[in-house]
Amino acid sequence: MIAVETASPILGKSDRLRINEIFFSLQGEADSVGFPTVFIRLTGCPLRCQYCDTAYAFHHGNWLEIDTILSTTSQYAARHVCVTGGEPLAQPNCIPLLARLCDAGFKVSLETSGAMDIAAVDARVSRVVDVKTPGSNEVERNKVENFEFLRSSDQIKFVICSRADYDWSKAFIEQHHLLARCPILLSPSYSEMPPAQLADWVLADRLPVRFQLQLHKILWGDVAGR
């Protein structure tokens, strides 16, 4: 892992982003789970979900040029790249970074909170869009306008904290016709929702969603940079 320490912003540089860390690991979620992947974690997030496991990315990071980010990413010789946060789309230069990564031949995914506009994201990027449940304490931040821009290559993720979250999610999926838009992922909130219980609910309801566990946490626990 290449750790990025705290630094002061460098103003007037239009091709820079504040990067918390760049590291190499196995993708733990979504449709590329298990693939060796370079993760580019951007600093900053306007949300404060109660289960957040990357709060360390809220403030710390260095300002790096996009060329430097691409050069660092290429050193790992991996096909898959995941741009994550924090909330990566909170930095406007995330949009050109995603395009540059695609131009370089990477298979790129974006993990986003669902609170930011995804319309300008390069069409070659697979977008994993969170829907914030009531248990996140950020349910009012869901930007439902994003659903109009979803493609079959995208995914929608719900992190489930309780039975109330599960029931809310079922109703939300139906209300917004999400099953017709792209694959739906349901994940238990780590250390908060027993995975087997959520799996039982999905099976009992014949819910046509993809149940997922966070592979990286099964392998390494709640360790930053893995």
pLDDT score for 224? 65
pLDDT score for 206? 97
pLDDT of 187-198, one tens digit each?
999 889 999 999
Determine the distance from the C-alpha atom of residue 157 to the mean position of all C-alpha atoms in its chain, rounded to a whole number: 9
pLDDT score for 217? 87
pLDDT score for 128? 98
Task: Output the furthest CA–CA distance in the chain (Å, rounded).
Answer: 56
Cβ atoms of 31 and 53 within 8 Å: the answer is no
Regions of the chain with pLDDT less than 50: 2-12
Any residues with CB less than 8 A from the CB of 62 and at least 6 apart, and which? 4, 5, 6, 7, 18, 19
Q: Which two tokens stand for residue 42?
A: 């951007």
pLDDT of 18-67, one tens digit each?
999 999 999 999 999 999 999 999 999 999 999 999 999 999 999 999 99
Q: How far apart are CA 1 and CA 153, in angstroms?
A: 28
Neighbours of 95 (CB within 10 A): 16
pLDDT score for 145? 97
pLDDT score for 11? 37
Domain locations in the chain? 2-220
Q: What is the pTM of this model?
A: 0.90
Side chain identity at residue 174, one-letter code: E
**Which CATH number applies to 2-220?**
3.20.20.70
Residue 157, beta-bridge partner list: 130, 185
Residue 64, beta-bridge partner list: 17
